Amino acid sequence: MTLTTNKSILDWIDEKVELVKPDSIVWIDGSEEQLEELRKQACETGEMIKLNEELLPGCYYHRTKPNDVARVEDRTLICSKKEEDAGPTNHWMAPEKAYKMLYDIARDSYKGRTMYVIPYSMGPVGSPFSKVGIELTDSIYVVLNMAIMTRVGKKVMDAFLDDSNDWVRGLHCKCDVDAEKRWICQFPEDNTIISVNSAYGGNVLLGKKCFALRIASYQGKNEGWQAEHMLILGIENPQGEVKYVCAAFPSACGKTNLAMLIPPEGYRKKGYKVWCVGDDISWIRKGEDGRLYAINPENGFFGVAPGTNDKSNPNALAATKKGTIFTNVARNLDNNTVWWESLDKNPPVNAEEWTGIKTNGVEWKAEGKNLAHPNSRFTAPTENCPCLSPEFENPQGVPISAFVFGGRRAKLAPLVYQSRDWNHGVFVGATMASETTAAAAGAVGVVRRDPMAMLPFCGYHMADYWQHWIDIGKTLDPDKAPKIFNVNWFRKDDDGNFMWPGFGDNLRVLEWIIKRCEGEVDAKETAIGYLPYAKDINLEGLEGEVTEESLEKILDVDKELWKEEAKGIEEFFAKFGDKVPEELEESLATLKANLDK
Ligand code: OXD
Ligand code: MN
């Protein structure tokens, strides 16, 4: 039984069936009965393990092959017709060559397997922002994850026009999970994604990075909207007014934590609340009132487990307590629950680490080994999140007051600054950078430029993407355009200690940002943009940790360091030749001139 009579969809599926030759075909209708049946099957084959129903109701455990635990950027290709359209920051292959290579790998690979056809919607079904995709997969794990991360099934097809060709084709073939033949290919001009030889989330949940960022960024350029690697949060003041902020950070900068921030006690007592609309991706377009509105196209959180605990992010932890799939974490065999580094201080003694080795967790840790993989994940429904915004399902999205960029800079960037205007804000985003941490392989403290946190996710030429930002700005009335800011929670003193407490206290900075957007507070004009006066950041309740004096230091702009930074930016821009928008070149020239004053 099919769920649509849309000919473009049915023809494409027929073609792919012919290629991969499944034994049977199952359409995912989104019903709880069908999903429950699939969970049962996955448990029977060992693909998943049911966890303790009392402690973690509806939760399952899965492990991937050890060679398949993360996104693979050097095997992620943008297959545009022209190489120059992929740009210098993407890996590229000509579409003809890529299709042939992928079809040769995929051919007959579903023999003895079932093809699952997943119709899914990115965004609330029927919202003007939303887009439809069809993912074909031979993995029940993928089906069950997609059913959490997106809206799936009959309701999606029922709302989809019979003659529409505006849908994204996605073919996933697990094959043998051979790392040498693993490819994640986006064909932006064909609305097509093909992923082979992986079963790791970021490579196979095609709605997420592949569609909602790489393909969607390209669609957005052509259709006048934006797909961004941004969280969305709402800040409610004691009067009940909510202002929304979109923020982009490179990995390991606490994006999910900021998205689910818990206000400091003093703020909570006054009645402040923070609402999470999304933790990873924003789709943004202009509303009828001329303001920019954003939706979170996803329906779940695919979060990194290690580091998530009661202190760092109680809301994310709460979201994982039911209906969640855990991947590559450790298992506590005494009570059939899960554990990961820093969840608490008590690794299970009777444990199974992430590859399945039975071990005494305490001894294992004493040997300096991880029980959970550092990139182990939870796939949790957004509806579980205690601070999920009541506007989460709003088909019109939420109005954005500010865009916030940020990174990890030990010495350079001040706690917060505001760009002079939209174009300067685009420059701030385009030149975003973060210092590498010990969490990733390679040297520590090296500056890696990651424009708008989109480096691995932009589906076309990065300089054209910057131009798109500039062009969007031209369509906005400056009074209605979101103001653009940069934050740095990671400034260190000369002894290497963090100078700002971070976490919930970041609300103090967000409060200043909102006040700036509302024109309620003055700022100091500096070489890099507008900075707060220290007195304007509320430090109530932070006594002893941060004083107005130490705040001055976190807000300091060291001109010599910034001159170095300007050189780094110049080198970075050189990679893009004459494609860098003139507005960004002008911002660089202004920065240099300001620093020489
Ligand atoms: C993610 C990422 O998993 O950005 O969200 O890598
Ligand atoms: Mn992300």
> What is the average pLDDT value for the chain, to the nearest integer?
96
* Three-class SS state of 351: strand
| Average pLDDT, integer, range 144-161 | 97
- Report the alpha-carbon distance of residue 57 to residue 92 in Å, rounded: 44
What's residue 184's pLDDT? 98
Q: 301-384: what fold?
A: Phosphoenolpyruvate Carboxykinase; domain 2 (2.170.8)
User: What pLDDT does residue 440 have?
Assistant: 57
253 annotated active-site: yes
**Percent of the chain surpassing pLDDT 90:** 95
pTM for this model (two decimals): 0.97
User: For the packed helices 216-223 and 462-474, what is the interaxial angle rounded to 10 degrees?
Assistant: 40
- The structure tokens 């909510």 sit at 242
Backbone angles phi, psi at 455, to 5 degrees: -45, -50
Task: Please give the C-alpha separations between residue 491 and each of 206, 346, 500, in angstroms, as whole numbers.
Answer: 36, 31, 7
pLDDT confidence of residue 439: 58
- pLDDT for 362 beyond 90: yes
Taking each helix axis from N to C end, the angle separating 95-106 and 7-20, rounded to the nearest 10 degrees, works out to 60
What's the rounded mean pLDDT across residues 20-43? 98
**Which two structure tokens, joined as six digits, stand for 216?**
């969607």
pLDDT of 564: 96
- The CA distances from residue 180 to 19, 175, 201, 493, 586, in Å, are 21, 12, 18, 45, 44
Predicted local confidence at residue 240, as pLDDT: 98
Q: 522: how many CB neighbours lie within 10 A of its CB?
A: 11
Which pLDDT score is estimated for 445?
Answer: 79
* Nearest residue by C-alpha to atom 2 in ligand 1: 251
**Ligand 1 contact via 436 beta carbon (within 6 Å):** no
pLDDT tens digit sequence for 574-590: 999 999 999 999 999 99
Q: What ranges do the domains of the chain cover?
A: 7-30+71-223, 228-296+392-596, 301-384
Query: What's the distance, Cα to Cα, between the start and end of the chain in Å?
Result: 72
- What CATH class does 7-30+71-223 carry? alpha beta
Which band of pLDDT confidence, cut at 50, 70 and 90, is reported for residue 254? Answer: confident
Pocket test of ligand 1: the residue of 71, 376, 454 to mutate, having most ligand atoms within 8 Å of its CB, is 71
Q: Which ligand is nearest to the CA of 70?
A: 1
Distance 228 CA to ligand 2 centre (A): 10
Residue 370 Cβ < 6 Å to ligand 1: no
Reading the block at residue 6, the tokens are 């849309």
Strands 60-62 and 325-327, sheet pairing: parallel
Nearest CA to ligand 1 atom 6: 251
Please report which ligand is nearest the Cα atom of 440.
Answer: 1
Name, in order, each residue with C-beta under 8 angstroms of 263's C-beta and a sequence gap of 6 or more: 272, 273, 274, 504, 507
Q: Give me the catalytic one of 173, 210, 253, 276.
A: 253
**pLDDT of residue 399 exceeding 90:** yes
| Confidence class for position 444, pLDDT limits 50, 70, 90 | confident
Ligand 1 within 6 A of CB of 251:
yes
The architecture CATH gives domain 228-296+392-596 = Alpha-Beta Complex (3.90)
pLDDT of residue 544: 83
Does the pLDDT of residue 146 top 90, yes or no? yes
Indicate whether 130 pLDDT > 60. yes
Kind of pairing, strands 76-78 and 183-187?
A: parallel
Q: Which of 88, 42, 231, 228 is CA-nearest to residue 578?
A: 88
Q: Determine the pLDDT at residue 442.
A: 66
* Residue 269 reports pLDDT greater than 90: yes
Among 309-313, 513-517, 541-545, 553-557, the minimum mean pLDDT is found in: 541-545
Q: What is the Å distance from ligand 2's center to 213 Cα? A: 9
DSSP letters spanning 127-192: -TT-EEEEEEES-HHHHHHHHHHSEESHHHHHTS-TT---EEEEEEE-TT--GGG-EEEEEGGGTE
With tokens 């919607």, the residue in question is 121
